[in-house]
Copies of this chain bind each other. A is one copy, B any other.
């Protein structure tokens, strides 16, 4: 079994596995060359050969322990016709935001084979290519809260005011929206696993805007539905958010095998909050990577030391790779992680 899958399952590893959120993308010259100036993100995702190639670029360059499909959390709702575009320098923008119960009709049952056949096609191309090396592919979906925040706000938001207003003041409509989006996440994750993904990550990037009480009451049930539905697929489930220090226990409780930790929470503290019941993924500050190797090395060593005491540790950044990251620094980081002695603890080699 790959070290990545073993660490996710809190089993012995030969070395600490490492991959990076947003490892495929703008920071790579070969990505910029391939994408050029043309086409939208949705266009690129809809071209299976192109999406597969982009997915594979960082695996070839860095020798990371996992690929993650080049796609976007908004792909299913976009493909369902909700009216989403990715605006450069802004993010997902929704022309007609979700406002009333009538908008639920704009989210009909989601059939990946009909709406996003290119996602499965890209995943099959990637897994075929990776089969000889044994490097697994991670499939992913946006968690219901984070996707809902874009649909309700109409775009990226700092305060999430409209989203919270709906959550607090129209709890039935909110629950219906999140339940619908849970079905979307389940459908695309199942599709990606059927196409060869060996692990899945649920991105609840903005859940950290919520109090633990509000997360528990209004968000956790929908995310738990997603994670329960994919439990039977036999692949590890990673659950990640940013600024979610106070929610780590709840992210685990929702049904994760691995909880992603941003850079703010030391891994030892994250382990305490998750009760040691899950593996942890993380958690180098992406900003430290842009500051050069001198900033990276001591912080990475500290994280490796903390990770060695965990039941399972997947090295990653605390959030996605930033666009002005130097690939040479990431390459050295992968080498550093791979050269570290494998954990001697419960995760250690037999």
Interface residues, chain A, with chain B CB atoms under 8 Å away: 159-161, 164-165, 168-169, 208-214, 243, 245-246, 263-266, 269, 285-288, 290-292, 294-295, 299, 302, 322, 324
Chain B residues positioned under 8 Å from A164 (CB to CB) = 285, 287-288, 290-291, 295
Least distance between A210 CB and chain B CB atoms (Å): 8
Q: Which of A245, A266, A287 has the most CB of B within 10 A?
A: A287
Copies of this polypeptide in the complex = 2
Chain B residues positioned under 8 Å from A324 (CB to CB) = 161
Chain B residues positioned under 8 Å from A285 (CB to CB) = 164, 211, 214
Alpha-carbon distance A243/B165, docked complex (angstroms)? 21
CB nearest neighbor in B for A288 = B168
Cross-chain contact of A287 among B160, B243, B299 (Cβ < 8 A): B160
CB nearest neighbor in B for A212 = B266
5 further contact pairs, Cβ within 8 A, besides A165-B291, A208-B243, A246-B265: A159-B286, A161-B290, A169-B295, A209-B287, A245-B264
CB nearest neighbor in B for A169 = B291
Chain B residues positioned under 8 Å from A292 (CB to CB) = 165, 168-169
Whether B211 lies near A168 (C-beta < 8 A) is no
Whether A211 lies near B263 (C-beta < 8 A) is yes
Provide a sorted-by-A list of 27 A–B residue pairs whose CB atoms are within 8 angstroms: A159-B287, A159-B322, A161-B287, A161-B322, A164-B287, A165-B287, A165-B290, A165-B295, A168-B288, A168-B292, A168-B295, A169-B294, A169-B295, A211-B263, A211-B264, A211-B285, A211-B299, A212-B264, A212-B266, A213-B266, A213-B302, A214-B285, A243-B243, A245-B246, A245-B264, A246-B264, A246-B265
Alpha-carbon distance A212/B161, docked complex (angstroms)? 29
Chain B residues positioned under 8 Å from A288 (CB to CB) = 164, 168
Chain B residues positioned under 8 Å from A290 (CB to CB) = 161, 164-165
Chain B residues positioned under 8 Å from A264 (CB to CB) = 208, 210-212, 243, 245-246
CB nearest neighbor in B for A283 = B211
CB nearest neighbor in B for A210 = B264
